[in-house]
Amino acid sequence: MAPGGSRPERLDVARITKVHGLRGEVVVDLLTSEASRLDPGVTLERDAGPPLLVVASRPHQGKWLVAFAGVGTREAAEALRGTVLRAEPIDDPDALWLDEVIGAAVRTVDGDTCGTVVEVHPNPAADLLVLDGGALVPTTFVLGWAGEGEARHLAIDPPPGLLDLAD
């Protein structure tokens, strides 16, 4: 997909890692910052089998414990191990989504070209955009999308000297 282009129909939002207990609960690794993806009543799709309806969820040791409708035994839960769960993209035009940011051009508010995003590195204070030239740009300096079509890019307003650190 082109940077800043149309979003995919479904995004990977979680992965079932193991079974928890005897009543069908599973441990889920959330692959997004949107915990609402595991709210009771949410339906998640998977490659094989019908969609799964979340009936209960709660945080547990950095992951989530989730119960799905129709999964009431340890054996049924074990069959879900390794399953990737997918959902529709959230429609928020002001949000920066990882699948759109990777490969995006970055320019300062003055129009200076900074490079292309090759990775987003998690960081406690603010995630860091890793640019192809080695610069690290905290997302706190990202203003959002600017331009249209092929000229669409991420606009940043970094403090003086930030981009000089990569040289």
Return the pLDDT at 1: 36
What is the residue extent of each domain of the chain?
11-87, 98-166
Q: What is the DSSP string of 123-144?
A: -SSS-EEEETTS-EEEGGGEEE
The one-digit pLDDT tens for each residue of the chain (167 residues) are: 334 444 457 888 999 999 999 999 999 999 887 899 999 999 999 998 999 999 999 999 999 999 999 999 999 999 999 999 999 887 776 667 777 889 999 999 999 999 999 998 888 888 899 999 899 999 899 998 888 888 889 999 999 888 886 65
- pLDDT for residue 2: 39
- CATH superfamily label, 11-87: RimM (2.40.30.60)
Q: What is the pLDDT of residue 116?
A: 95
Edge-to-edge strand order for the sheet containing 43-44? 43-44, 52-60, 63-68, 25-30, 11-20, 84-87
**3-class secondary structure, 166:** helix
How crowded is residue 83: how many other Cβ atoms within 10 Å of its Cβ?
19
CATH 3.60.150.10 for domain 98-166: no
Instruction: Determine how many CB atoms are found less than 10 A away from the CB of residue 27.
Output: 19
Nearest-5° Cα angle at 12, 33 to 149 = 85
CA distance 99 to 122: 15
pLDDT digits 0-9 by tens, 27-43: 999 988 789 999 999 99
DSSP string for residues in 70-119: T--SHHHHHTTTTPEEEEPPP--TT---HHHHTT-EEEETT--EEEEEEE
